[in-house]
């Protein structure tokens, strides 16, 4: 790799854009930056995944600290689920060491397609649950009761403090394990999976789930990073511009996000996911089968 001005600034720019888009669309930057590094910068998949997972720590630090400061994060819930996500990350990153490039490309292509699809089907039902006080009235299972997790945060949009009782600890831990595994294997944060698990199965309001997920992502990504670092897969010349870029982009994105959530953004997201998914699939087929799909744009 020739580390020229053009290369560094292109990488910085691409990473900033990935971080910005990630923050605007409510996902981490990893889902964009890995395909961009592979398809546009022609970096090996494992180098891209390893660099991405380190930059995921950076964005988690930046976003996570904000939610901790505002006391939206539920620390007990986060610490408990981190047991599952870190074990998942360990298994995922071990798998990444041994899988072939083309298999990882196929898996990533599948993840992108899935993310694009779910952008359409997710609906936010929080408002009704907040208004009826349903979050505070749930019954806990035995594990959740033992862990004694509940919480409250001030919701600016609803103009009131929202109290909630956490339930469904076993299913939440199981999904978190899978999210951790996806994170370690593919270099993404896995936040979307964790947030929907907490919101739909554990009775956690959306905002608290997002804040808690952001915090957990850092610890989860640290486990995969430790493994990749000791395996010699983390290339610091790639990590440095990518980490600076994603953090800057994510910070700007979070600031301008406010009320940008619209159907238009979901469309943009779905189209991007479909495009990148196709690109990763095409690369996998080209590497392994020598089969060349038509290149789009």
Partner 1 sequence: MIQEENVYVGVYKVLMAGMALSTLFFIVGVVLSLAHPAVVPLNRDWIRAHYHWSVVLSGFAHGDPASYMLTGTLLLILTPVMRVIVSIYAFFIDKDYKYVVVTSIVLLVMVLTVILARFGLT
What residues make contact with partner 1 under the rule CB under 8 A? 1-5, 8, 12, 43-44, 47, 54, 57-58, 60-62, 64-65, 68-69, 71, 73, 75-76, 79-80, 82-83, 86-87, 90, 94, 97, 147-148, 152, 215, 218-219, 221-223, 225-227, 229-237, 239-241, 243-244, 247
> In the complex, what is the shortest distance from the CB of residue 145 to partner 1, in angstroms, rounded to a whole number?
12
Residues 6+ apart with CB under 8 A from 33: 14, 15, 18, 19, 48, 52, 55, 242, 246
Task: Provide the minimum distance between the beta carbon of 236 and partner 1 in the complex, in angstroms, as a whole number.
Answer: 4
Nearer to partner 1, 118 or 248 (CB): 248
Residues 62 and 59: their CA atoms lie apart, in Å, by: 5
Q: Which residue, 24 or 233, has its beta carbon nearer to partner 1?
A: 233
Which H, E and C letters describe 129-186, residue by residue?
HHHHCHHHCCCCCHHHHHHCCEEEEEECCCCEEEEEECCCHHHHHHHHHHHHHHHHHH
Token output for 281: 């699939």
Residue 58: Cβ within 10 Å count:
22
Minimum distance from CB of 134 to partner 1 (Å)? 20
**Contact predicate 219/176, CB 8 Å:** no
Q: How far is the CB of 3 from partner 1 (least distance, A)?
A: 5
Please report how close the Cβ of residue 200 comes to partner 1 at its closest, in angstroms: 23
Contact criterion met (CB below 8 Å) for 109 and 280:
yes
């Amino acid at each position: 790799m020739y580390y020229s001005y053009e290369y560094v600034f292109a990488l910085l720019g691409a990473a900033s854009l990935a971080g910005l888009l990630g923050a605007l669309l409510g996902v981490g930057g990893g889902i964009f930056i890995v395909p961009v590094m592979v398809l546009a910068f022609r970096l090996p998949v494992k180098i891209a995944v390893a660099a991405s997972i380190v930059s995921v720590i950076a964005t988690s630090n930046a976003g996570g600290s904000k939610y901790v400061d505002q006391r939206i994060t539920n620390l007990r819930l986060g610490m408990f689920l981190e047991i599952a996500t870190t074990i998942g990350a360990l298994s995922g990153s071990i798998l990444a060491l041994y899988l072939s490039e083309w298999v990882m490309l196929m898996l990533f292509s599948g993840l992108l397609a899935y993310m694009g699809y779910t952008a359409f089907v997710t609906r936010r039902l929080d408002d009704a649950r907040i208004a009826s006080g349903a979050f505070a009235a749930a019954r806990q299972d035995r594990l959740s009761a033992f862990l004694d997790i509940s919480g409250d945060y001030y919701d600016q949009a609803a103009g009131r403090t929202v109290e909630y009782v956490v339930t469904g600890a076993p299913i939440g831990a199981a999904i978190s394990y899978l999210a951790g595994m996806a994170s370690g294997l593919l270099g993404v944060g896995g936040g979307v999976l964790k947030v929907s698990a907490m919101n739909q199965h554990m009775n956690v309001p959306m905002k608290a789930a997002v804040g808690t997920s952001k915090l957990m992502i850092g610890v989860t990504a640290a486990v995969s990073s430790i493994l990749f670092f000791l395996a010699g897969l983390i290339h610091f010349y790639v990590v440095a511009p990518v980490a600076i870029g994603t953090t800057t982009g994510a910070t700007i994105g979070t600031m301008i996000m406010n009320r940008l959530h619209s159907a238009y953004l979901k469309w943009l997201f779905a189209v991007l996911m479909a495009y990148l998914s196709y690109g990763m699939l095409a690369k996998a087929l080209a590497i392994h089968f020598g089969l060349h799909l038509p290149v789009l744009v």
